Structure 1
Amino acid sequence: MKKYLYITMISATVALACSSDKPEAETPQAVNENEVSLTQQQAKNINLEVGKVGFGNVNETLKLQGKIDVPPQNLVSVSIPLGGYLKSTKMLPGTHVNKGQVIAVMEDPQYIQLQQDYLNVSNKLSYASKELARQKELNVSKANSDKTLQQAETEYNNLLVEQNALSEKLKLININAAQLKGGKISKSVNVYSPINGYVSKVNVNIGKYVTPSDVILELINPTDIHLNLTIFEKDLSKIRVGQHVIAYTNVEPAKKYDTEVILISHNVSEGGRGEVHCHFEQYDQRLMPGMYMNAELQFGNQKVQVLPEDAVVSFEGKDYVFVENKPLNFTLTAVNIGETADGKIAILTDLKGKKIATKGAYSLLMKLKNAGEDEE
């Protein structure tokens, strides 16, 4: 019996010893999904090269967008100050007009009344002028009183003021008062173009009555068009009046237009954008107000960090480089890039002092992404 208990105790002791010798479960280590490592042979196979960023002078290009605009003095809204009915017009949007050309004919009974009033006042003024002269002669010999002379002068001056006022009203509807002396009255008046240009809008139809505030036609003189560009607040300090800007349309990008900065806005909108106005050095009839254009403004001799083009890889719309953490171990790092020239690409992200995979970066990207897919 004692022998049996002794054996049982030894067996239990051995069991506990065996269970204590089992290794504990290892804690999972976090893996950086943007890190990739190579063996010496893999680095040799992809011709891996590592180096630091260099510095060089490049021509930085600022790309902008905007649309063609026209200064206010080249936009004209045509109306009739006294209102009336549109009798006739041959104007259509796009019709070319010359300054002084008849663009519409208006008619209204008030035009007749205005001319009649002017002629009546003119006749009264003629009589008042003669009466004033007669009263002056009589006053010299004291055949009349000073009061009578003053009344004649007042009547003449009042009629003169009224005639001048009616004459100005007639000018508003393009009627020359001097031509009414013969008593010829017209029920219609002409509307003339104040500029050389094109009809951009026709807002009324024949027979419609328009008020003084209604715009009959809208005219535009496109010979002085300019390019209104939108620029971010951070880039405003780079722009100077007189700088050369190259512009082109999306429809014909190969056709370049030379423009010059003539005005920079001094206010910034809520979205952090300002405006830059550029003048076209040569007018082109194919350029119409409202058309959207792209523009490029170049800055010479900008000292920036540069890397070989092979050092930068693109993935899902972003640009990256591989920064070396330790020998043959790299981290995929996002960067902002600038212009590319002579096999070099400008790096806008600060990478000074860091070692970069200058050759073999694409192979590193493939290994990194393929490894991620395999783990999934």
Structure 2
Amino acid sequence: MSLPIYFAGCSNPGSEKEPEKEAVHEKSDIVTLTPEQHKLSEITLGDIELKELSGTTKVNGMLDLPPQSLVSISTPLEGIVKSTDMLQGKRVTKGALVAVMQNPEFIQMQQDYLDYKSQLQFLKQELDRQEELAKENVNSKKALQKARSEYQSVNARLLGQRSKLSLLNISFPALEKGQIQKTFNLYAPMSGYVTQVNTNIGAFASTTDVLFKIADTEHLHAELTVFEKDVPKLKLGQKVRFVLANEEKERIATVYLIGREISKERTVQIHCHLDREDTQLLPGMYLKAYVESGMNKVEALPDAAIVEFEGKKFVFIDQPALKDSKDYRYRMMEVKTGVAENGYTQVSFAEPISEAKVVVKGAYDLLSKVKNTGEEGEGH
């Protein structure tokens, strides 16, 4: 490779000869920076990585929650919100109080329960008496049937009222002691984060209103949208590499379910489980993903490490400093590029470079120095 780059200063004819030590020229593919220039360039070194860039399917998607990890809280009995301290983003644990409700009907329900319970005690005594009389053939069968019917009817009402009050989280031991509650409480059915608050103190809430939503973000999954033509490439257990819209780091998931219905847009939904859970992630985050359909790994570098010069692709390799010099040296090497995905590009070198460090940040600054030096060389 030959580049028109010169790093030694040009001298005019007739000028005094420079000392031989300073007249030594660097190779045309070596870029030298002084410590000051190096600091301004903010150069970062990295390694050539092995990446699965071939045999992949590029898809889009978003983080989502399975139905069992998202709960909507409504009131089983309409009423007024007396108090709540729920805020979006608040962490709640299972069984935590989310709201206190009030409704005069709730008081009447408790009174009805106590009334049914009292009636049932009387009817049970009457039923026992009629059964004793029937054994002695003193009463008629009609009287016994009537006593049994009345007992069963009130018992059914009592059980029904008990079920209704159970939905309102009533304390039956306290109620049966005559302690009637004026309000009823709503509790969190699971632990998670509050994602929606649709009410406020003093607001009326019907049984169809969703007052709060709680999401358990410990089990988020990646929901991918795959075009019909790419579905045959997908299999259960395949690895998925994805990057969130607000991040640069790569995450890994595994294909868990493949949808069996094609949408109007000719796409299929793919359900993936995250290999590493992260409670800081939120449902609804958009992502770009690559589904691995092959296991061949290739040498790759971040896109920022590769520059283009005179129609060819190059990278800069860190070089040892010269003896008694504090300057930084980088060798400009031509590379062949291949598949480019997710911020990385496949590279191959004409010659082995062992475990040399590559400039992964600041390569364009080095290229600028190459261009400027080349222009100076042509000008002389």
Shift of 1:114: 0.2
Query: Does the alignment pair 1:76 with 2:110?
Result: no
Q: Give deviations 1:205-231, integer Å, cap 9, x for gaps.
A: 111111111111111111111011111
Contact 1:60 1:338 in 2 (8 A): no
Partner of 2:238: 243
CA contact (8 A) 1:58 1:301 kept: no
Q: Deviations over 1:56-77 (max 9, x none)?
A: x982232222110001111111
Pairing of 1:201-212 with structure 2 (within 5 A): 201-212=196-207
Using the alignment, how far apart are the partners of 2:284 and 2:53 within structure 1?
Answer: 34
Residue 264 (structure 1) aligned with residue 258 (structure 2)? yes
Equivalent runs, 1:83-94 vs 2, <5 Å: 83-94=78-89
Judge conservation of contact 1:98–1:197 (CA < 8 Å) in 2: yes
Kindly provide the CA deviation profile for residues 332-375 of structure 1, in whole angstroms up to 9, marking residues without a partner as x: xxxxx95563449xxxxxxxxxxxxxxxxxxxxxxxxxxxxxxx
* Structure 2 unmatched runs, 5+: 1-51, 297-307, 313-337, 350-380
Letter in 2 for 1:123: S
CA contact (8 A) 1:98 1:196 kept: yes
Tell me if the contact between 2:53 and 2:339 (Cα under 8 Å) persists in the aligned partners.
no
Superposition RMSD in Å: 2.2
Looking at structure 2, the residues matched to 281 and 154 of structure 1 have their Cα atoms a distance apart, in angstroms, of 61
Give the secondary-structure state (helix, strand or coil) at the position aligned to 1:59.
coil
For the Cα contact (< 8 Å) 2:339–2:346, is it kept in 1? no
State how far apart, in whole Å, the 1-side matches of 2:94 and 2:88 are.
Answer: 17
Q: 1:191 offset after TM fit, Å? A: 0.5
Question: Percent of aligned positions with the same letter in both sequences?
Answer: 39
- Report the Cα distance in structure 2 between the residues aligned to 1:200 and 1:63, rounded to whole angstroms: 30
Return the match for 1:286 from 276, 280, 285: 280
Unmatched segments (≥5 aa) in structure 1: 1-56, 303-309, 315-336, 345-376
How far apart are the structure 1 equivalents of 2:209 and 2:240?
A: 40
CA distance in 2, matches of 1:278, 1:133: 63
- Provide runs of 4+ in structure 1 moved above 6 Å: none
Q: Which piece of structure 1 moves more, 129-138 or 86-95?
A: 129-138
One-letter amino acid matched to 2:205 = V
What secondary structure does 2:89 align onto?
coil
Are 1:227 and 1:277, in contact at CA under 8 Å, matched by a contact in 2?
A: yes
3-state SS of the aligned residue for 2:189? coil
Is residue 335 of structure 2 the alignment partner of residue 341 of structure 1?
no
Q: What does residue 222 of structure 1 align with?
A: 217
TM-score normalised by structure 1 residue count: 0.64
State the secondary structure of the residue aligned to 2:262.
coil
Residue 294 of structure 2 aligns to a residue whose secondary structure is strand
**Correspondent of 1:149 among 144, 148, 161:** 144
Amino acid at match of 2:162: S
2:103 matches 1:98: no
Q: 2:289 aligns to what? A: 295
**Secondary structure, aligned partner of 1:163:** helix
Q: Does 1:174 align with 2:169?
A: yes
Higher deviation after alignment, 293-302 or 109-118:
293-302
Count of matched residue pairs: 256
Find the aligned partners of 2:295 and 2:107 in 1 and give their Cα distance.
72
1:152, distance to aligned residue in structure 2 (A): 0.9
